[in-house]
Structure 1
Amino acid sequence: MTIGLREVLMVLIVLVAAYILFVLLRMFHLRKPASSEPAARKEEGLGAPADTEKLPPSLPADAEESVSLADWEKAPAALGDDVLRSGLEQEVAQLRDEVDAMRGELAALRDDMQTELAHLRASQSVSPIYGDAMQMAISGYDAAAIAERCGIARAEADLVVALAKSQER
């Protein structure tokens, strides 16, 4: 009798299917609620309650009475709560830092907007003929450069510069 490739593959498929079935049964067993397990064991007549069966073997006999399954379940739950709490605290701290950064950016933007608004108000209060001259004066140009570029007299440029300085205060 010779074993071919086909037979080997069939055996492997059966073994994989059996393993998957075994894993699924174990997962189903883990999903069962803990409260139904002791009742089922008592009905089967196994005698000893499930709480004492799950105790580690290193505990002395008198400690078995005081320790129950609920005590063993509380520890992982408390540990999970601590991990969750610390993660949430880190996220809250990070969010607070981001809010502080956004507040700083917002304050800087507010200052910039107020400066631009002051420039706009200054340029609107001046005749349209002197609008460019006023913008240059607000930007910091001196009277000679304003007079040359805008084609106005030096005295007019001096007045525009003085007006711009008085509105900045």
Structure 2
Amino acid sequence: MNLRVLLVPVVLILLAYIVWQLLLALRERRAAAAARRALPDEAGSAEDSADDDGFDYAPALRAAPAEDGPPAAAEKAPAAAESFQLELDVQQLRRDVLRLQAEEQARRQEVIALNEQVQALREQVEGLQAGHGVSPEYNEALVLARRDYDAAAIADRCGISVSEAELVRSMTRRDDRGGEG
């Protein structure tokens, strides 16, 4: 029974504190809504009407007479709201930049993979072109000659004589000059 007597005032004090905090939050929200309405930006007024459901709780703020003293509270609120909006915009731009950088990195990886595939296909085409109309025995020698291997390296790798390798090299040089002219 003694515990109940002590618990009831504590609960009442907590409830009073919660109500006080709610009233402070409402007052701050009203001040922020009034500050947004004071801005010439039309986007802010559209947000106010959506937030308040068309019901104006806060009185309109009047500008203080111009003095040489510190700026009025009405002038501080728009500046704070504007700086907050700018900070949000900066954060959004940073997220966008990070997303774009990730996309660019993915595109670069794709380009590298495609370049490797193109190079492999070029080598296949060279091999096919080299072997077109030539004995299968000299296909590899022709490919190596087009890659500017010397006659001794071609002969060793393909198992042909050095003179045959020289002949293959001269044929590729002739074909290359004939294709250019």
Compute the TM-score of the two structures, normalised by the length of structure 2: 0.46
Give the TM-score normalised by structure 1: 0.48
